[in-house]
Amino acid sequence: MADIRIGTASWTDPGFVEDWYPPKLPASARLRWYAEHFNYVEVNATFYAIPTARTVERWVSETPDDFLFDVKLPKVLSRHRMQAKFLPPALRSKVALSGEYVELNPKTEQLVVQSLLRELKPLCDAKKLGAFLLQLSPSFRPKMNALTELDSLRGLLADHLLAVELRNRDWVLGGQLNATLDYFRRKRISFVSVDAPQSEHFTVMPGLDYVTNPQLAYFRFHGRNAEGYIKGRTVADRFDHDYSESEVKEIAQRLQEIEPQVQRLHAAANNNRSNYAPKLASRLREILGEREELRKALAIKQRKPAPGQLL
């Protein structure tokens, strides 16, 4: 059976503060409260800046021993523009710059990864680091890029689980799909399965579920608000969708079908308007928990001897 972790993409979204956390709960108490409800979270803050080891130590101390953090890699590694001011001070003078933005090259990539791993050491030492998530820019596309551009990053993170979310659907259309999956399998990269709106827009990935690394399956749920996803100006606008019960059950079925194929399954609710994400994560945990209780009951029943059967 897979180790299933279900949580949200971040624990600090404004919608959570407004509609999910208890009123007047101090910011310093939010992670501890979150960890009373979920045993896993996706760290979104690392996409924007590398945290300090002191901050990471606090994450460790505020969560139970079996809690896991998946860490989103800094945006410069994802082919998004990143201002140098968001890097640690000691790193800013060592990376190449294009104006105020960090220029991605092999040296920069190595320096950023090394800095991140150094600051995350408390998480690794506590065995609370799950996987790294690379959320690529939609501008990373087959016409202009090759997946082999990720080889060096995979090498730098060779000792860790790595999941990659593609944000340009051209990677999975036609004959490109098999080439994409083959690359992910060869490099032991987990293909991120998404739940997103039904749209042909190039930035909207179709809902494809493939196991490319049996160590980890990774799901992210973005909601099904097509207009918001494509035109939204804020994160809350883009992922503004409150899943219905039928939609939640549909997603749960996808997780159940993948689970037997992997050792670990991580699922992050990213529909982060209001309290929508924790609602989704909680309901998925309930459904999968009910399934597990049923499985145990059936196993016990099968072990019971028939009438007159000798033990």
CATH code of the domain covering residue 128 = 3.20.20.410
The tens digit of pLDDT for each residue in 185-227 reads: 999 999 999 999 999 999 999 999 999 999 999 999 999 999 9
**pTM surpassing 0.85?**
yes
Extended strands (E) in the chain: 3-9, 40-43, 68-72, 97-98, 101-102, 129-135, 161-165, 189-195, 217-221, 264-269
Residue with tokens 């196993």: 299
Which domain range does residue 189 map to? 3-302
Cα–Cα distance, 289 to 9 (Å, whole number)? 21
Cβ–Cβ < 8 Å for 86, 107 = no
Extended strands (E) in 36-158: 40-43, 68-72, 97-98, 101-102, 129-135
Tell me which amino acid residue 90 is: A
DSSP H or E stretch at residue 18: helix 14-19
- Tell which residue, 130, 99, 105, 94, has the closest CA to residue 217: 130
pLDDT of res. 233: 86
Domain membership flag for residue 214: yes
Q: What are the residues facing 81 on neighbouring strands?
A: none
pLDDT of res. 235: 86
pLDDT of res. 301: 61
pLDDT of res. 302: 60
Domain membership flag for residue 309: no
pLDDT of res. 311: 46
Domain membership flag for residue 119: yes
Domain membership flag for residue 88: yes
Positions in the chain short of pLDDT 70: 291-311
pLDDT of res. 107: 95
Domain membership flag for residue 155: yes
Domain membership flag for residue 160: yes
Domain membership flag for residue 245: yes
- Look at the chain and report how many structural domains it folds into: 1
Domain membership flag for residue 218: yes
- Residues 249, 253, 255, 260, CA torsion sign: positive
Tell me which amino acid residue 181 is: L
pLDDT of res. 12: 93
